[in-house]
Amino acid sequence: MVAINDNFQKLPGSYLFSEIAKRVAAYKESNPSAKIIRMGIGDVTLPLCDAVIKAMHKAVDEMADPSTFHGYGPEQGYKFLIDTIIKNDFEPRGVCLESDEIFISDGAKSDTGNIGDILGLGNVVAVTDPVYPVYVDTNVMAGRAGELLADGRWSRIVYLPCTAKNSFVPELPKQKVDVIYLCFPNNPTGTTLTKTQLTEWVKYALANDALILFDAAYEAFIQEDDVPHSIYEIDGAKQCAIEFRSFSKTAGFTGTRCGFTVIPKDVTAVGMNGEKVQLNRLWNRRQCTKFNGTAYVIQRAAEAVYSEEGKMQVKDTIDYYMTNAKIIRNGLEAAGYTVFGGKNSPYVWAKTPDGMDSWTFFDYLLKEKNIVATPGVGFGVSGEGYIRFSALGDKDATIEAMKRLG
């Protein structure tokens, strides 16, 4: 008889956003005339910008010509895109990277979930709480999380609460940890760390031989000067951190799929014999075995994001969503809610009213206001009593939602 990976049996019955979709679908079936405004899942609504579309069309035409057709590409990504990323995303911030330290992929979700393939099961993992569910769930799948406790946490994962009590700035671990997941600007809270605050994490990692997995998927939304766009702006980070990036929210690639992971060659971990091993080499081996590379057409589209035309158009898109975030913040505050985030991120994090739990407030918004948001507890125990609103929707719908809550 074939045996399964029993770690999957430990997971909740469905992924957070699948559960939300089920509840919304059930309500919609019973109330077909309801005009639901969706502010839950962080999916974009504006189309791909013109520069990207033009680049895709050109690349498609190349695929139709035997002289310019592209078959299998390099698993690590095409050099034209990698070099463009380095020139535009890192060099202006004083970060020097080599082309073989960047790996193009189909998105940050895949890479943050798959990075555990090259890390030992004995590592102690730390996550901020609340947290993007992928970090925790993939460690459960791998067998690194231990057992599910009565409070909803996992026995072998170290949780670092981020709430209003500590201004959403997690404390450094009080116990020895090996792998630390950080996401800033943060999903779900929309809050950030300053350069000084992030520097403390790099110092901790260097002093404790820990690895930081830094999810910078929302860096393009940063508006304030003292918030770093890349962890590599911090001295020493190239010795202790892996960074994940995404074109999904930045340029509307949620349905197009492209991102990249940065693994400097100075980042090492220890093998069974005590020898230090480059994680860059292990990830390259993993990708060459399990991944056939991101499509040529998609990589040309991503390259166009960095063209002069593309930069202007993407900025317009970011500005549109950040205007939505301001509308949400102002609307919720006017209605008496306590809100956080939304200044350097497309997510606004709000306290539920009157001590209401997250799922009860979710149901209230859905049934009484026909608004879909994301219950904070779905991101972890410390998310209880909060709810997340996404600013990635239509502006008119965002205005209408705030009117309903006013």
pLDDT single digits (tens) 50-75: 999 999 999 999 999 999 999 999 99
pLDDT at 313: 98
pLDDT higher than threshold 80 for residue 13? no
pLDDT band at 296 (very low <50, low <70, confident <90, very high): very high
Cα first-last separation, the chain: 59
Cα torsion angle, 347, 322, 40, 334, sign: positive
Average pLDDT value for residue range 290-297: 98
pLDDT at 147: 96
pLDDT single digits (tens) 340-367: 999 999 999 999 999 999 999 999 999 9
Residues 6+ apart with CB under 8 A from 176: 124, 208
pLDDT single digits (tens) 246-284: 999 999 999 999 999 999 999 999 999 999 999 999 999
User: pTM to 2 decimals?
Assistant: 0.97
pLDDT higher than threshold 80 for residue 15? no
CA–CA dist 57, 104 (Å, integer): 21
Label the pairing between strands 276-278 and 268-270. antiparallel
What's the CA dihedral at 139, 269, 266, 156 to 10 degrees? 30
In the block, tokens 């350069």 appear at 195
How many CB atoms neighbour CB 281 within 10 A?
14
pLDDT at 321: 98
pLDDT higher than threshold 90 for residue 16? no
Dmax (CA) of the chain: 66
Provide the mean pLDDT of the chain.
97
For residue 182, what are the β-bridge partners?
Answer: 214
pLDDT at 259: 98
pLDDT band at 19 (very low <50, low <70, confident <90, very high): confident
The domain 8-47+309-405 is classified under which CATH number: 2.102.10.10, 3.40.50.11540, 3.90.1150.10, 3.40.50.300?
3.90.1150.10
Q: In sequence order, what DSSP letters do the residues of 117-151 get, joined into one string?
A: GGS-TTPPEEEEES--HHHHHHHHHHT-S--B-TT
* Topology annotation, domain 57-307: Aspartate Aminotransferase; domain 2 (3.40.640)
- Among residues 222, 126, 160, the alpha carbon closest in space to that of 233 is found at 222
Q: Where are the domains of the chain?
A: 8-47+309-405, 57-307
pLDDT higher than threshold 80 for residue 14? no
